[in-house]
Amino acid sequence: MKKIAIIGKQQLLSIRQKMQQYLIDNGLEADILDMETRNVLDWTDKMKGYNGIISCGEKFPAEVFERLHGDLELISRYGVGTDEIDKVAAAEHGVAVCNAAGSLSTAVAECAMGLILAVLRSIPESDREVRNNDWSRFFQSKTGNQIQDKTVGIIGFGDISQALAKMLSGFSCKVIAYDIFWNEEAAKRLNVEYATIEQIQQQADIISLHVPSTPQTNGMINKEFLSKCKPNAILINTGRGRLVVPEDLADALNNGVIRGAGMDVFFPEPPDPSNPLLTAKNTVLLPHTGACTIESHLKAGMMAAKNVADFFTGKEVKTILNPDYLKNK
């Protein structure tokens, strides 16, 4: 019988227990393990003998696969992002890596939507003012902006972006988007126009980032990028912290190069206390909670468990991210 370890103690125990029962019902042995750190290298001794691991953002450097070679066959990500897993090393040791793609899309899109509105209408600042008995925003007509009829530029046009585009349609926004793998069918269905990065910079009142962290995308939001944006533009990042050069964005915010920013992700996390975005003007900052809803966590957890059950019963797993693992299996 194949043995599965469910890690990620930050997730609700009730959801992990449902995942465990699902795996048992599908003929697998499943254990819930609470580890003290988020680097698997620190406790590979406890992972020996397990054929599958359901992870939740823990680091899997190359050495982990060397130590677990022979037993480990699958890592199923409870969530979507897999930046923390060395997928090349996994493939070299015959280990498949999959994720729960699509499970978090609505939650993260809602978060991006909330950040857009919070920045446009200065909602956090207004809340603080009321608590300090400051009603100057009302009496002096300190105005924000509506989202209606704004142009929203989305960089990356996957599941989350498409969910956001659907939400934006209710506000009569013009949505333009860029992706290196353009989905024309989804664009037509959602009334989204293709645009280059340069066109997004020139036209967008709101720019929302939804691309993975790669050598090509890391640091893409820098001084040069921001200098080409509209001065009333706001930047939303629910993607990855590495996409943004924090010093450049903070400088742009403090000097009026762009109007505001809403950030749910940083690098590193938590951000260093010296991160200039923590004190920059016109920012709304969240602690990487874009996907943190009961509904999305349950959906992601059960999809991760189903991927494991499908994998070990010979069914197709459509979200394998390193298909080359088969060469070394």
Q: Which residues are catalytic?
A: 240, 269, 288
- Give the residues across from 193 on adjacent strands: 176
d(CA 22, CA 27): 9
d(CA 283, CA 115): 9
Given a contact cutoff of 8 angstroms between Cβ atoms, the answer to whether 30 and 76 are in contact is: no
- Residue among 263, 266, 202 nearest 235 (CA): 263
- Residue among 68, 38, 100, 65 nearest 298 (CA): 100
d(CA 120, CA 117): 5
Please measure the distance between the N-terminal and C-terminal CA atoms of the chain and give it in whole angstroms.
Answer: 18
Sign of the CA dihedral with 251 first, then 215, 290, and 86 last: negative
Separation of CA 88 from chain center: 21
